[in-house]
Structure 1
Amino acid sequence: MAEKTTPPPATLLAESIGMPPVAPGFDAKYIAELGAQVAAPASFTLELAPDIYVGLPPALPMVWDPRKGGVLPVREYIEQFRLKPARKVGTAKALTLESFIALANRHKTEHTAVFADTTWQKPGFTAVIDYHENTSGGPADNGKHRIHYDFPLSEEWKAWVKLDGEPMSQLDFAAFLEDHIQELCSPTDAEKIALTRDFATTVATPAEVVQLSRGLQVHVASTVKNAHTLQTGAGEIQWEEVHNGADGKPLTVPGIFLLNIAPFFMGEPVRIPVRLRYRVSGKITWFYQIFRPDSFITERVRDDLDKVRQETSLPAFEGAPEMVA
């Protein structure tokens, strides 16, 4: 019986890929050619069932490339030649409400939605341009193209909030009032009646606050002789003369005054009551308390949200989108 011989490696490789038989004596040459053919990339199409693979295209172009590790999407090959992004991605930051509205109008689609965080400490608006389709059971979108406005605080408002409830010496308090007199306003007749009724005290005008600050500067080194509350609800403080120039005359202290201040950079002003307080212990310590800033700021934010609805014609919701940016 004849002994079987094993074909050369080139012949085996040729047979495995359907090539003609290898001629004797050309093993090295054929091995190189056949190896190059085996290693060459080959494209094919992967068919997908649309009822199973929701959100994917019906066919995916693929590449078989052993040099790159096997099967790869065609996209990895062609992305290097892209001239423009496939879709809009990223978050634009608006510094003013007007810019937020203008950007939303520039990019909005029929499916765009606005989400609002109306908490007064850190409010913010976010327009999700590519939000889910605005139909019942409609397909989802990426939610990656957004515009955000985080209500940057004004320097004036930060100054008032910083010292809210903080005790101050007479000199420091007088200087603070002088520096921030432009943020005060006179109460309207309706505000005066309501505040006098609710707080049972005198409501000061800006002029009266200026007069108070200047009176405090006169008595900066004086000792309090007497302090009591008048029938109007205002306080009256009398100083004991301890240096030249102090007349010791009583000084009337109103119990409340009004701020007319824009809490947010380039935003609309808000009228907020501020209580005026002092404590006497030989010397006098002053402080103020902004009354319910949460309600006044939240009301301002909701008014701005109504403005967004009106000027963009977009649906707006108090909350946050479900997808991560």
Structure 2
Amino acid sequence: MEHNNVQELIKLGASQVIHNKEGIPFVAISSDYKLVSIEDYLPHPIKTRQYVKMNTVKSFIEYVNRFKNPHTTIFADDQSHLFKGIIDFHVSQDEPRSGKHTVEYGCPLSREWEAWQNRNNEKMDQTSFAEFLEERAEDIVSPSGAELLEIALKFNVIRKAVFGSAMRLNTGEYQFTYSEDNQKGTVELPEQIKLGLAPFHNGEKYEVKAKLYYRLQEGNLLLWYKLVEPERVIEDAFYEVTQNIQVGVGDLMVIEGKSLTC
């Protein structure tokens, strides 16, 4: 290995610097007529080439502020929820830069958002629905977690119940009648619940409405929910992150779009 390095240095030493590309010197090797960069033999690289992915908005802002220059540009892509900062962005049309020093932040979804999104519009039997409410009770703002836990407990108790009818009460609740072991009873469920969810990991929480639906079929009860305009919540959360980044990086340009070539 050392022998090869020595031979390469001998070749370079016998060559002549013939070209500079963005300040990087190249030499022509006479034996095979190819251009070779000698940047690796300099005390330090001439250009920064670095691709970094950050896990938080705070670290993204800190990294940009550490290395930024007046031409550093940030692209905010609301389709992929990705922020890309190009530290060495072009000065002007007449002064292009390599754009090889970049940093990204991808707005990862929170676990609670994924939990509700994954089961959105999924029909569940009463037991599965009750268990889901128990698991996610801390996300529910209205009715209170205690009220929904009480409903979930009742659904769990009447696992083998046969449901006969359902009606919508003046209070805006659904009332289901059931029979089990020759005993009859009713259980109520709200028509809509309100959630407090942070769409992005470590982000701000937003109020998200979920409408509840049901189907009675041969004595079996199916329940499910539909999140109301979850896309709009994501859009609002992304806009909020964009604003926070703009404030954090000061006068740097934050563009709504995607960088495809850098």
TM-score computed with the length of structure 1 as normaliser: 0.70
Secondary structure, aligned partner of 1:210: helix
Identity among equivalent positions (%) equals 26
Q: Give the structure 1 partner of residue 128 of structure 2.
A: 172
2:163 to 224, 227, 232: 224
Q: Which digits, 9 at most, give the CA deviation of each residue in 1:133-156, with x for residues without a partner?
A: 1x5x45111111111111122222
Secondary structure, aligned partner of 1:237: strand
Q: Give the structure 2 partner of residue 312 of structure 1.
A: 249
Partners of 2:101 and 2:255 in 1: how far apart?
A: 18
Q: Give the structure 2 partner of residue 294 of structure 1.
A: 231
Q: Which digits, 9 at most, give the CA deviation of each residue in 1:152-187, with x for residues without a partner?
A: 22222221111111111111111111011011113x
Partners of 2:26 and 2:60 in 1: how far apart?
A: 40
CA contact (8 A) 2:214 2:224 kept: yes
1:106 to 60, 66, 79: 66
Structure 2 residue 141 is matched with structure 1 residue 185: yes
Structure 2 residue 99 is matched with structure 1 residue 143: yes
Structure 2 residue 29 is matched with structure 1 residue 91: no
RMSD: 2.5
Q: Give the structure 1 partner of residue 88 of structure 2.
A: 130
Which residues of 2 match residues 7-26 of structure 1 at below 5 A? none
CA contact (8 A) 1:227 1:236 kept: yes
Secondary structure, aligned partner of 1:249: strand
1:248 offset after TM fit, Å? 3.0
Partners of 1:62 and 1:205 in 2: how far apart?
A: 73
1:259 offset after TM fit, Å? 1.3
1:309 offset after TM fit, Å? 0.3
Residue 214 of structure 1 aligns to which amino acid in structure 2?
Answer: L
Residue 125 of structure 2 aligns to which amino acid in structure 1?
Answer: S
1:45 offset after TM fit, Å? 4.8
Query: Which range moved further: 301-310 or 141-150?
Result: 141-150
1:207 offset after TM fit, Å? 3.0
Query: Which range moved further: 140-149 or 81-90?
Result: 81-90
Partners of 2:15 and 2:157 in 1: how far apart?
A: 92
1:64 offset after TM fit, Å? 5.9
Partners of 1:270 and 1:184 in 2: how far apart?
A: 12
Higher strand share: 2
Secondary structure, aligned partner of 1:165: coil
Partners of 2:129 and 2:69 in 1: how far apart?
A: 53
Q: Give the structure 1 partner of residue 10 of structure 2.
A: none
TM-score computed with the length of structure 2 as normaliser: 0.85
Larger Rg: 1
CA contact (8 A) 2:39 2:46 kept: no
CA contact (8 A) 1:41 1:63 kept: no
Which residues of 2 match residues 18-167 of structure 1 at below 5 A? 41=14, 43=16, 45=18, 62-63=27-28, 65=30, 68-70=31-33, 72-73=34-35, 75-76=36-37, 78-119=38-79, 122-133=80-91, 137-167=93-123
Secondary structure, aligned partner of 2:170: coil
Structure 2 residue 200 is matched with structure 1 residue 264: yes
Secondary structure, aligned partner of 1:232: coil
User: Structure 2: which 5+ runs fail to align?
Assistant: 1-12
1:283 offset after TM fit, Å? 0.8
1:210 to 144, 149, 153: 149
Secondary structure, aligned partner of 1:277: strand
1:80 offset after TM fit, Å? 4.3
Partners of 1:323 and 1:151 in 2: how far apart?
A: 22
Structure 2 residue 221 is matched with structure 1 residue 284: yes
Secondary structure, aligned partner of 1:248: strand
Q: Give the structure 1 partner of residue 5 of structure 2.
A: none
Partners of 1:109 and 1:165 in 2: how far apart?
A: 48
Residue 153 of structure 2 aligns to which amino acid in structure 1?
Answer: R
1:264 offset after TM fit, Å? 1.9
Partners of 1:219 and 1:175 in 2: how far apart?
A: 13
CA contact (8 A) 2:84 2:103 kept: yes
Q: Structure 1 residues 260 and 61 mapped into 2: Cα distance closer, same or farther (>3 Å)?
A: closer
Q: Structure 1 residues 218 and 69 mapped into 2: Cα distance closer, same or farther (>3 Å)?
A: same
Aligned residues: 248
User: Structure 1: which 5+ runs fail to align?
Assistant: 1-39, 49-54, 187-203
1:42 offset after TM fit, Å? 5.4
Secondary structure, aligned partner of 1:208: helix
CA contact (8 A) 1:96 1:267 kept: no
Q: Structure 1 residues 265 and 239 mapped into 2: Cα distance closer, same or farther (>3 Å)?
A: same
